[in-house]
Structure 1
Amino acid sequence: MNLSIRDVSKSFGDKQILDSLSFDVADGEFVSLIGPSGSGKSTLFSLIGGLLAPDSGDIWMNEERITNKSGTISYMPQQPSLFPWRTIMQNVLLGQELNGQKETDRAMEMLEKAGLGDVTHAYPHELSGGMKQRVAFIRALLSPQAFMCLDEPFSALDDFTRMDMQKWLLTTWEENQQSVLFITHNIEEALFLSDKIIILSSNPAHIKKEISIPFSRPRDEAIMLTPEFLDWKRYVLDIALN
């Protein structure tokens, strides 16, 4: 799925949040958005998902105008947002059920690959934070919409679990090759996961820089300790802070 943002602006009252944003996410591309808190990243997701309408500009998906149109993306928020009264299997199938589908066999296969095959009949309160995030990501993958928006899904996890989740996400994404727009405040995370990083300013947000990441795939976490990776981290940090 190809996403095109064209000259999108958004204000709330007298406060302008987004200022003429334009960028693209190509089919199968993993793109990260980074920027300071309050720079409008989550607002942009609400616009892409059709929950809000831009003041100006348009949003396109595969040549179709989706401005202020809902139901075109799958979404994974900062918190897993699992229904506590539904089992793990029932939670991952929710997006499909809302569209009159139910691929139980595929869901079971993905849960087993995620190390969750033994907890399909468990409830969310019985799972760790990392396990819940895996469930939320599988639910997004199984949703009929092929474009995924991930809003800081690992921000609440400890460093060890976060690294484990990053590696798992990368492996799972490489197997499925869906287009992803990913919000993060973590520069290392953005560099490790992404094909491209978009750096936003704040007050209001505009694009400071689009950076294509040169690291080949598949990627191993050992790359994060290389001089080249640290040089790229300094480069991105310098743009983000200046």
Structure 2
Amino acid sequence: MTKLNIEHLGKSFDSQPILDDVNFQVEKSEFVSVLGPSGSGKSTLFHLIGGLYKPDHGDIYLDGEIVTGKKGIISYMPQSPSLLPWRTILDNVLLGGEITGKYDKDSALEMIQKAGLTGYESAYPSQLSGGMKQRASFIRSLLSPQSLICLDEPFSALDEFTRIEMQHWLLTIWEEHKRSVLFVTHNIEEALYLSDRIIVLSDRPAKVKREFTIPFTRPRQESLLLTNEFLQWKKQIYSELRDLT
């Protein structure tokens, strides 16, 4: 379990400010989504949390310890599955454990079974559909020892029905393991369906413009997407984002 604190984070590239005084937190076992205009710095935020960039100012804390600029402290799942093509699905999901020395093949096989990938343990990524690759990639994130998972638009390349199926599957697995998740998406419905809270970033230089605490109970069902309450929340967040453009 983890608690992430972002305090007064700022970052510029070539004298162009991207993030300016960004402040928010992710509580233990919480699912938080980040929404913002295209180019507002959402991916830059992830790169700062993951230690790939160093901020110009501000700090990042994980469980009360300052981790600014440190690599390897989060489990990161990008937009593409990023599975190694020469490794089988089982070997791919075990990669994080191999690197850290915490190798648990039994847990990996159990997760593969729950992901509906039984029979594909020895298959290679080229033999899997897009949704199956994303499932394998998320299993790898769950099996990595880091307590915070950062997901960067992992379902953006999938068709509508596959994306909804993957969202439901993600919630089912997450509710069992309750890892802290920070999720970047452009999709308001996706953020509403998955999240405990939604953070809306302003246009560049990005600040936290508003936070929404989502009231829907868990576990969540796909039927939620068709309710009037869900539509009203979507309209409210859409209006907030529209004001930024």
With the length of structure 1 as denominator, give the TM-score of the two structures: 0.99
* SS of corresponding position for 2:119: helix
Matching residue's letter, 1:44: L
> How far apart are the structure 2 equivalents of 1:228 and 1:219?
14
Post-superposition CA distance 1:25-65 (Å, at most 9, x none): 00000000011111000000000001110000000000000
Runs of 4+ in 1 over 6 A off after TM superposition: none
Matching residue's letter, 2:120: V
> How far apart are the structure 1 equivalents of 2:201 and 2:158?
24
Aligned partner of 1:158 in structure 2 is 159
> How far apart are the structure 1 equivalents of 2:241 and 2:226?
21
Aligned partner of 2:75 in structure 1 is 74
* SS of corresponding position for 1:57: strand
Matches within 5 A, 1:1-242: 1-242=2-243
Matching residue's letter, 2:179: Q
> How far apart are the structure 2 equivalents of 1:202 and 1:70?
27
Post-superposition CA distance 1:46-88 (Å, at most 9, x none): 0000111000000000000000011110010000000000000
Matching residue's letter, 1:165: M
Q: CA deviation at 1:14?
A: 1.5
Post-superposition CA distance 1:190-216 (Å, at most 9, x none): 000000000011111111100000001
Counting aligned pairs with the same residue, the percent is: 60
Post-superposition CA distance 1:101-130 (Å, at most 9, x none): 210000000000001111000000000000
Matching residue's letter, 2:66: R
> How far apart are the structure 1 equivalents of 2:88 and 2:228?
45
- Structure 1 runs not aligned, ≥5 long: none
Matching residue's letter, 2:73: T
With the length of structure 2 as denominator, give the TM-score of the two structures: 0.98
- Structure 2 runs not aligned, ≥5 long: none
Alignment: residue pair count: 242
